[in-house]
Amino acid sequence: MSHEPNTELPEMPTHPPSPSWGGPPEKSSRMHKQSDLTVLILVFSSLSGYYRPKCTTYSISKAAVNMLTVHQSEQLKDRGIKVICMDPGWVKTRMGGDGALLEPEESIGGMLKVVHNLKDEDTGKFYTYTGGEVPW
């Protein structure tokens, strides 16, 4: 069943949260950057492009990841951690195959741009690698 890798594994980084880590570093202690572990990204493809998904459990697991994103964003926002879900696009990987549209560098570069431009109000949302918000 596809729910385990798609919903249980993404939850592992925040459950249970480490008591020794109080959140992102203070701005006064060093230069505060988005890369200072203030963003948790769940990278999953979107179902928005599918008219009729072929695998029910896969579709359910994708919806569960969206809900996990919403819940984790609420649980972690007081610690200054933004949680988003991101669709990397159809990437030329073993899973995407040679017919995929994107080179890995383009997908990764786009995702990094999105992450570096996140604002507090963006937590809990689903984005494409180009920065477009995915409704669900």
Residues assigned a catalytic role: 58, 62
d(CA 107, CA 38): 21
d(CA 52, CA 47): 9
d(CA 84, CA 38): 11
Reduce the DSSP state of residue 92 to 3 states and report it: coil
What secondary structure letter does DSSP report for 18?
P
Reduce the DSSP state of residue 60 to 3 states and report it: helix
